[in-house]
């Protein structure tokens, strides 16, 4: 049966994939490494036949979720960004946190991060950095494993025990020879993070950096984000960085406790 005829008979499903599944698979084809894709790329990366991908892309372009450039490639559209801005853990949280992130940056002139938990990953929703700051691989929208970053360790340490055990069960990816890859060590590290109220990561992602992070708590006292700073390993002023990061985290937390805090 031709695909068009199948769509006519079963408008909500093609095989085992609903229309929503197919639309989402098109959006999921884009990532930080491939922000621009041709129609052929979208078809291949989404696993959809070219004709189906063409129809799904057309729907998304007409709505504004995708945009097409002069070269014929597709990008995530502004309309999707507008919808994403409504997420309480996205732009609203970022806006509440930004004054404190700016203060932390002015105190350190290094990389300052704000991150949230998503599944078994850390997702960065804000980053401030100067030209002289140590080079980092993180950027807004990037995902990193929870066990390998300071913000990730803070989020994992305060997550549900089931998630902690799932992450500790591995695999724990190594980025440097210092990355925590032993489940027992990770469990001890998480306990230490809870005890100290902060996480300190040395050379976990790159060999030239140390990161410090602290938890941001929502109105109910739950940890809803983590704020962190990354400095060169040869300038690891942890004795001053820890209180600075904790002050920023507490300031963001207080801001979230106010009516309308974190809601844009």
State mean pLDDT over 102-123: 91
pLDDT of residue 256: 84
Q: Which residues pair with 75 in a beta bridge?
A: 67
pLDDT exceeding 70 applies to what percent of the chain? 83
pLDDT of residue 166: 94
CB 235 within 8 A of CB 253: no
Look up residue 204 and give its two tokens: 């976990």
Q: In Å, what is the CA distance from 78 to each residue of 66, 75, 82?
A: 8, 9, 6
Whether the pLDDT of residue 5 is over 50: the answer is: no
Instruction: State the pTM of this model.
Output: 0.71
Report the length, in residues, of the chain. Answer: 264
Whether the pLDDT of residue 260 is over 90: the answer is: no
CB 121 within 8 A of CB 232: no
pLDDT of residue 93: 84
Taking only the tens place, the pLDDT of each residue in 130-174 is 665 555 566 777 889 999 999 999 999 999 999 999 999 989 999
pLDDT of residue 132: 53
CB 59 within 8 A of CB 23: yes
pLDDT of residue 170: 82
pLDDT of residue 13: 42
Whether the pLDDT of residue 236 is over 90: the answer is: no
143: closest CA among 119, 162, 168?
119
210: closest CA among 194, 229, 193?
229
């Amino acid at each position: 049966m031709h695909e068009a005829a199948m769509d006519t008979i079963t408008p909500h499903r093609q095989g085992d994939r609903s229309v929503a599944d197919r639309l989402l698979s098109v959006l999921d084809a884009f990532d930080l490494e491939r922000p621009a894709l041709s129609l052929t790329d979208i078809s291949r990366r989404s696993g959809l036949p070219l004709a189906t991908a063409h129809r799904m892309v057309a729907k998304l372009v007409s709505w504004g979720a995708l945009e097409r450039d002069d070269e014929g490639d597709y990008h995530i559209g502004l309309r999707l960004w507008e919808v994403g801005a409504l997420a309480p853990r996205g732009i609203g949280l970022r806006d509440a946190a930004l004054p404190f992130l700016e203060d932390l940056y002015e105190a350190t002139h290094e990389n300052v991060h704000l991150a949230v938990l998503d599944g078994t990953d850390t997702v960065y929703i804000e980053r401030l950095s100067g030209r002289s700051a140590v080079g980092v691989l993180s950027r807004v929208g990037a995902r990193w494993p929870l066990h390998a970053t300071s913000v990730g360790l803070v989020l994992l340490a305060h997550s549900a025990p089931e998630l902690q055990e799932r992450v500790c069960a591995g695999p724990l990816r190594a980025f440097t020879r210092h990355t925590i890859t032993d489940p027992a060590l990770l469990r001890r590290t998480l306990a230490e993070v809870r005890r100290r109220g902060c996480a300190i990561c040395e050379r976990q992602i790159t060999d030239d950096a140390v990161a410090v992070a602290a938890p941001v708590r929502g109105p109910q006292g739950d940890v809803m984000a983590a704020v962190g700073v990354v400095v060169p390993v040869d300038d690891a002023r942890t004795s001053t960085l820890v209180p600075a990061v904790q002050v920023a985290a507490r300031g963001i937390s207080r801001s979230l406790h106010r009516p309308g805090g974190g809601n844009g």
